[in-house]
């Protein structure tokens, strides 16, 4: 039996939900300084550009983990909203979200993330996560 429009809509919503959950999980794990778990949210050859350096790519899980481990300890709370995920196909999706960052020692920062998600054997992962700051 061929998939129906309802089946495709249900699959699209499931992908959108999985990817939106990945964004929220990333923020929570980041705030908890669970760096190994944050790095595991990336595809093995995924890449990341921090909001403070949006053109400086860090490539691969090991390099991403090393970058997080190298940062000084700090207290943070990330708030992500306005999450929109567009499914490209069964194995890829794009997303955009707004981010508000509070740190224990500085002014709040407002920015966004632009993400490329891929389906892996481990589930949905970030193939690319690029942050940017607005102010």
Radius of gyration of the chain (CA): 15
Q: pLDDT for 68-81, tens place per residue?
A: 999 999 999 999 99
Element (H, E) at 100: strand 92-103
Q: pLDDT for 76-131, tens place per residue?
A: 999 999 999 999 999 999 999 999 999 988 889 999 999 999 999 999 999 999 99
Q: Are 24 and 16 in contact (CB under 8 A)?
A: no
C-alpha–C-alpha distance, residues 86 and 104, integer Å: 34
Say what the pLDDT of residue 98 is: 98
C-alpha–C-alpha distance, residues 46 and 120, integer Å: 11
In CATH terms, 5-133 corresponds, of 3.90.930.12, 3.10.450.50, 3.30.43.10, 3.40.50.720, to: 3.10.450.50
Query: Full-prediction pTM beyond 0.75?
Result: yes
Where do the domains of the chain lie?
A: 5-133
Q: pLDDT for 7-50, tens place per residue?
A: 899 999 999 999 999 999 999 999 999 999 999 999 999 999 99
- As given in the structure block, the two tokens for residue 102 are 């509070």
Say what the pLDDT of residue 66 is: 98
pLDDT score of 3 more than 80: no
Q: Is the dihedral of CA 29, 30, 32, 37 positive or negative?
A: positive
């Amino acid at each position: 039996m061929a998939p129906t429009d309802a089946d495709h809509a249900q699959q699209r919503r499931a992908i959108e939900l999985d990817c939106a959950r990945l964004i929220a999980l990333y923020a929570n794990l980041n705030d908890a300084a669970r760096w190994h778990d944050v790095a595991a949210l990336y595809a093995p050859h995924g890449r990341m550009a921090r909001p403070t350096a949006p053109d400086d790519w860090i490539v691969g899980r090991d390099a991403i983990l090393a970058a997080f481990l190298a940062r000084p300890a700090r207290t943070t709370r990330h708030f992500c909203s306005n999450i929109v995920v567009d499914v490209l196909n069964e194995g890829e999706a794009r997303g955009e979200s707004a981010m508000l960052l509070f740190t224990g020692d500085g002014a709040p920062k407002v920015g966004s993330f632009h993400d490329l998600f891929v389906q892996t054997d481990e589930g949905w992962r970030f193939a690319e996560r690029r942050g940017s700051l607005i102010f």
